[in-house]
Amino acid sequence: MDYKDYYKILGVPRNAQADVIRRAYRKLALQYHPDKNPGDKQAEERFKEMNEAYQVLSDEKKRARYDQLGSSYSDWQNRGAPGDFNWGQWAAQGGQSSNQVNMDDLFGEGVFSDFFRSIFGGMGMEMSQGGVSRSRQRSAQPIEQPFTISLREAFQGTVRQLQVGNRTMEVKIPAGARTGTKVRVRGSGPSSTQGKTSDIYLVVNVESDPKFEIDGNDLYTQVAVDVFTAMLGGETRVGTLSGEVVLTIPAGTQPEQLIRLSQRGMPLLKDPSSRGDLYVRIKVRIPKQLTAKQKKLLLEASQSK
């Protein structure tokens, strides 16, 4: 079994802060998402690998354990010891055992690599030694699983199917979800040694949208108008996440000016009836060619100042 360098997979340094790791994951998730690469098995595997790396590096306990493994693996390489690295011995030293959570039953076969399962399959489960349970047993620990939705799905809300072993559950993602929002699926995870069933938390990642930028509850977009509309005023159509609307352009509108459309932004997660605002940035098109009449009128206008 090969060692997986999760830092290299996400393209971040080993001392990267949580926000750096999150941004790197979001960028890669947008690039390799299966919806953007239909039928591309290589992109699908890359996407799985990134999700696995993010699951580890975004979790403080998993990352600490992974860093411990990295140190042990580096020491083994530097010693030049013969044979392969003893994964089983290292896992046993960290409190793992063969009585681990079956990650394939939890998320479906092939979602996690053998490397991940051997290192993290039993995290959060304090198992017995020699078949006798310890007197102090941990309760079932929740499991986090990152997943990606579009900005439009975050705006409207959506439903995702979660496959857990032989069970298929529909999970509702509420309108107003943001990157980092956690959706709790109660009692869907593995059981502890006390028989208590854990929860799964789906951790939302909202992918970037080519037409809209999000800032808190507000959205930003842009529309192009010709120079005459900017100078004289007029109307143009602008797309929003709830459909096109007519935007009034005041006379004398300047390039890069923002026009606010109230209540056209993102819904508030805890109050979907309330929304932020949509700000439309005006791009002014300057014509490359003018008719003789247009030139004359513009010249007269400039001389009359």
Give the Cα separation of 26 and 50 in Å (integer). Answer: 10
CATH 1.10.287.110 given to domain 1-97: yes
Which residues of the chain does CATH 2.60.260.20 include? 139-208, 213-288
Looking at residue 87, its pLDDT comes to 54
- Residue pair 259/225 in contact (Cβ under 8 Å)? The answer is no
Tell me the whole-structure pTM to 2 decimals.
0.55
180 forms beta bridges with none
> Of 201, 222, 202, whose CA–CA distance to 211 is shortest?
222
Looking at residue 36, its pLDDT comes to 78
CATH class in words for 139-208: mainly beta
Give the Cα separation of 153 and 173 in Å (integer). Answer: 8
Looking at residue 293, its pLDDT comes to 84
Q: What is the DSSP letter of 35?
A: G
Looking at residue 248, its pLDDT comes to 96
Q: Give the H/E segment covering residue 152.
A: helix 151-156
> How many helices and strands in the chain, by DSSP H and E?
10, 13
Per-10-residue mean pLDDT, the chain, length 305: 82 91 86 80 85 84 79 59 54 45 41 63 36 39 79 92 75 90 78 64 87 94 93 94 95 95 93 93 89 81 70
In the numeric block, the tokens 């709790």 are attached to 184
Give the Cα separation of 248 and 236 in Å (integer). Answer: 7
Alpha carbon separation from 292 to 289, 296, 297 (Å, rounded): 10, 6, 9
Start-to-end Cα distance in the chain: 78
CATH class in words for 213-288: mainly beta
Give the Cα separation of 24 and 7 in Å (integer). Answer: 10
Give the Cα separation of 266 and 240 in Å (integer). Answer: 11
Find all residues with CB under 8 Å of 118, minimum gap 6, and list them.
1, 87, 88, 91, 96
Looking at residue 27, its pLDDT comes to 87
- Chain segment 125-161, per-residue pLDDT in tens: 332 223 323 333 445 566 777 888 999 999 999 998 8
Give the Cα separation of 213 and 279 in Å (integer). Answer: 10
Looking at residue 256, its pLDDT comes to 95
Which residues of the chain does CATH 1.10.287.110 include? 1-97
Q: What is the DSSP letter of 144?
A: E
Alpha carbon separation from 217 to 264, 267, 269 (Å, rounded): 10, 7, 9
- Chain segment 58-70, per-residue pLDDT in tens: 888 888 878 877 6
